[in-house]
Structures are given as C-alpha cells and as structure tokens.
Amino acid sequence: MSRLNPREATEDVTIAVAGDRDSDGPLPGSNVTLRVAYRAKRQLVRDREGAEVVSEATLLAAPEHNPGKDLEQLLSPGTKVTVRGDDREVMTAEPALRRGRVVYVAATLT
C-alpha cells in the first residue's frame, strides 16, 4: 500500500499519552485523538518480549490525517488506546516507508 486512502480513515481513537514521572511513579499525561483506519481482525504477532500473542485489531494512521503528530511515538508498544469505547494496548507498531518518509504507521492492538 503506497498511502492510506482518506475514505478508510474514519475512526477517531484516543491515545493516553504518558506524563512525566515523580517520586511516586508516573503522572497521567494528556490524551491525544488520532484519525485512523480500524480493522478488527485476529492475527498472530510477536509482542515486545518476542512472545507470540493474538492481536484483536489493527490501526493504520497516516501523517496527512494527523498533522503535527509524531505517530511513531504516539503508537509505540505499550501505549494505551481507546477505540470504539474499548480500552486496548498497542502490541506492535511498524512504520511503512516510501522514499524515506513515513506513509503510515500500522499498530496491532490487544
């Protein structure tokens, strides 16, 4: 896929951005909304530790639908995502590159 079709990016998801840390642990950060293409499909993927786990959904986020946002940072593994009212976690995230530029970031969710 060379780019994400704008008609596919119909879902708004909320990313729980991690805040700073203090002596008691992490502080809550602000939430960020992204416009993404959402695909509910099960697939076998490897998590951060290399274990095989089942992903329940995939998000595709493109820079042109989310201007000024660092998609690779926002969709890094372990990030909490709310999609369609369900709280999920990013298991894997991989950018699709074309001529050295990010075309979209594909993230698998729990």
Query: pLDDT digits over 55-67, tens only?
Result: 889 999 988 888 8
pTM (global) more than 0.85: no
Express each pLDDT in 40-53 by its tens digit. Answer: 988 888 877 888 88
CATH class given for the domain over 11-109: mainly beta
- Domain definitions of the chain by residue range: 11-109
Question: How do the residues of the chain divide into helix, strand and coil, expressed in percent and rounded to 5?
Answer: 5, 60, 35
- Measured from the Cβ of residue 26, the count of other Cβ atoms closer than 10 Å reads 10
